[in-house]
């Protein structure tokens, strides 16, 4: 099998293929034997260390019983896995890009979450997430699944070798009430508790600072030990992933600027505590 360069698309596709295999109840050995592949080849495809050809993906989809529009989407993604740059995924129902994002988060050594309007997903309480989903018009039958998925993502912060998380949060995210005042106070206290971990740093940008690069929109930077940095942006009906260095660099520069304009971690903790106290009054 021909080796192909891996990009954010290849790594995202690998995560989706791994999820499909898991749902089918098949082991990597069973799938590899059925296709006449080596187990290591399938493992490398699923881990994003080797890009699969569209023919290889088609064979896997036959084994997993994937047909119709989902098959077409994955095959189209496979055709472009050797192309760096922007990768957009539509989001009907439960977002399929979450599979890719969860995979990237689990492999990252450092995550920078820049959030202008909402508390970072990795620091949300279940109640806050539930209120967010409900206010955003998510169908009631999907809410609990999304809450559970988000809470599951957060387990990476407490594993034996967790990634470093830097959360840069605009004051607007702290003051935008979702649910009751008690819920918001508990959410902010939760951020403070998370910030006490050695691998979590929280910095707040107060309104008093005025404009800054973050006002252009929230984004997440994911860094890896042996792979290119990825930038992720989430929108109402789609998500964007980018890994071309020329496209990633402006976001890294923005992070450096935002760290300078934000309060330091100690002052940020005091600020968050003061806002929490306002909710508790």
User: CA angle, corner 97, sides to 92 and 100, nearest 5?
Assistant: 160
Task: Spell out the domain ranges in the chain.
Answer: 8-83, 87-280
pLDDT digits (tens, 9 = 90+) for 216-265: 889 999 998 877 899 999 876 667 888 888 999 999 999 999 999 999 99
The phi, psi pair for 138, rounded to 5°, reads: -70, 130
**Band of the pLDDT at 7, cuts 50, 70, 90?**
low
pLDDT score at 165: 98
**What pLDDT score does 243 carry?**
83
Q: What value does the CA radius of gyration of the chain take, rounded to a whole number of Å?
A: 20
Residue 92 clears pLDDT 60, i.e. is over it: no
pLDDT at 236: 63
Give me the pLDDT at residue 119, please.
97
Q: Range with the lowest mean pLDDT among 11-15, 83-87, 158-162, 180-184? A: 83-87
Which CATH number fits the domain 8-83, given the four candidates 3.30.470.20, 3.40.1180.10, 1.10.260.40, 3.30.70.1450? 1.10.260.40
Fold for the domain defined by 87-280: Endonuclease; Chain A (3.30.870)
pLDDT tens-digit profile of 159-168?
A: 999 999 999 9
Beta-carbon count within 10 A of 14 CB: 26
Supply φ then ψ for residue 180, to 5 degrees. -80, 170
Residue 86: the pLDDT is 45
pLDDT at 91 over 80: no
pLDDT bracket for residue 13 (50, 70, 90)? confident
């Amino acid at each position: 099998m021909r080796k192909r360069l891996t990009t954010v698309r290849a790594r995202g596709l690998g995560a989706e293929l791994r999820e499909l295999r898991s749902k089918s109840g098949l082991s990597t050995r069973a799938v590899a034997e059925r296709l006449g592949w080596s187990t290591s080849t399938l493992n490398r495809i699923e881990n994003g260390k080797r890009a699969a050809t569209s023919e290889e993906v088609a064979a896997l989809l036959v084994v997993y019983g994937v047909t119709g529009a989902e098959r077409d989407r994955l095959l189209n993604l496979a055709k472009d896995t050797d192309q760096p740059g922007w990768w957009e995924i539509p989001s009907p129902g439960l977002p399929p890009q979450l599979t890719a994002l969860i995979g990237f988060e689990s492999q990252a050594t450092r995550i920078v979450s820049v959030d202008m309007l909402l508390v970072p997903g990795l620091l949300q309480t279940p109640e806050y997430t539930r209120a967010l989903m409900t206010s955003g018009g998510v169908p009631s039958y999907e809410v609990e699944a999304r809450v559970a998925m988000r809470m599951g993502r957060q387990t990476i912060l407490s594993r034996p070798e967790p990634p470093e998380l830097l959360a840069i949060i605009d004051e607007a995210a702290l003051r935008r009430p979702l649910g009751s005042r008690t819920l918001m106070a508990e959410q902010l206290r939760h951020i403070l508790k998370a910030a006490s971990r050695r691998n979590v740093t929280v910095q707040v940008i107060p309104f008093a600072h005025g404009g800054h690069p973050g006002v252009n929109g929230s984004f997440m930077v994911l860094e890896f030990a042996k792979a290119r940095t990825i930038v992720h942006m989430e929108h109402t009906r789609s998500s964007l992933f980018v890994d071309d260095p020329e496209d990633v660099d402006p976001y890294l520069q923005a992070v450096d600027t935002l760290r300078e304009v934000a309060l330091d971690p100690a002052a940020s903790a005091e600020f968050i505590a003061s806002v929490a106290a306002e909710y508790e009054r």
